[in-house]
Structure 1
């Protein structure tokens, strides 16, 4: 899925977004460099939780709201997290729900626009 199509879908039907859609849109427009990042109290080393790193970097570059960012996780957010609020899986999603953009920081620039 290309970037423009993805962003249109995210605006018009966020509940229809899949995580694979998000990753495909990112891959179509950006080159990724594994980068350490923090999310709330959770530290992710470079190469650890790389897809969350890509998703957060993408959402930040695109100026997405917290709700739009969470929608980018697709079923991981809608099914695994929202339907299991006491769960301990998907800690990057759960921490972002608590801390929002204030809790996210990168030790570099994970995404570079493709030429």
Structure 2
């Protein structure tokens, strides 16, 4: 199993990253991730959208962080993973694209 850092490395090998604001969650209190914060989650969610991954495939990209959430369901850490587990893709909203394919 790849680690989260390996996933990010693989994404960064293929894509140029630009910080982007995104919301995670439905309802009146989504998690607001301002550009430059939670950049790992920003990369993973953007990548997963670009390559049309489903929720489970996307969660697998969070590697050990996803496993930690599964092992500690009552915890409060990794809020983007926890919220995505609840609301899935309907809860993710980006305001600009964070990834561009690297020129060859």
TM range (shorter): over 0.9
Residue 37 (structure 1) aligned to one of 12, 22, 28: 22
TM-score, normalized by length of structure 1?
0.84
Match of 1:67 in 2: 56
1:24, CA displacement in angstroms? 1.1
Residue-by-residue CA offset, 1:58-110 (whole Å, 9 max, x unaligned)? 011011111110000111111x2000000000000000000000000111010
Match of 2:38 in 1: 49
CA distance in structure 2 between the partners assigned to 1:91 and 1:34 by the alignment: 19
TM-score, normalized by length of structure 2?
0.92
Larger relative contact order (C-alpha < 8 A, sep ≥ 6)?
Answer: 2
Task: Specify which structure has the higher proportion of helix.
Answer: 1
Q: Which runs of 5+ in 2 are unaligned?
A: none
Q: Which runs of 5+ in 1 are unaligned?
A: 1-15
Q: How many residues align?
A: 99
RMSD over aligned Cα, in angstroms?
A: 0.7
